[in-house]
Chains A and B, each alone.
Chain A
């Protein structure tokens, strides 16, 4: 595997389900990101992890719970979602030293549909 991979690519879930999205980067980067891309809206940065510590949480509802067990893996745990949470969820990674960061590389995304 190369670059940034995401699984699953597609997910359909009910509002009472619990599911998790997985992201893995094979680039040796130390920062990882979750974005939400909804139709007709700009990309929304949800969470940022740098050196496995969460450094940004953009007022995301608690039904979204990120986890970064190591610098290569990032999860987004989902529970009791709403239909308006249906979107493409993109993971990205980059390399930084805490002061400057190189460009972000994106995964293919998980298309989430909440029924």
Chain B
């Protein structure tokens, strides 16, 4: 079946460091891919998305590129801030379905 695998956290970085959170998916077709972010005490917010191979989603300095050849959708940011501390969820969804398949989440802690 379809699944999403994320790197385990927590990921601890100093402010202005480069961030990569790995995400890979398995699917029977070509799903749409998403990154959601959950700040402490809040619900999930859509951070970015990509709907087809080679698409790049971007928002708030974060980027992720849909790589069909490696079935990956890694999240990157060139310079993290303390305010980026949160839990990040990678997710996939087949276009014919409402069902989001979530990864287990990766906690990011950015220190001043």
Contacts and interface: CB of A to CB of B under 8 A. Distances in A.
Nearest to B95: A100
A21 to B, nearest CB: 13
Nearest to A10: B41
B104 A101 contact: no
Contact of B43 (A90, A96, A99): A90
B46 A105 contact: yes
A9 B100 CA distance: 24
A94 B93 CA distance: 12
Contact of B100 (A55, A96, A104, A108): A104
Which secondary structure dominates where chain A touches chain B? Answer: strand
A94 B98 contact: yes
Interface string A101-115: 101111111000000
Contacts of B100: 45, 104
Interface residues of A, number: 25
Contacts of B60: none
B3 to A, nearest CB: 10
Given A43-B102, A90-B44, A109-B42, 13 more contacts: A33-B98, A42-B104, A43-B89, A48-B98, A48-B99, A92-B44, A101-B93, A101-B97, A103-B49, A104-B100, A106-B36, A106-B44, A109-B43
Interface of A: 4, 6, 31, 33, 42-43, 45, 48, 50, 55-56, 90, 92, 94, 96, 99-101, 103-109
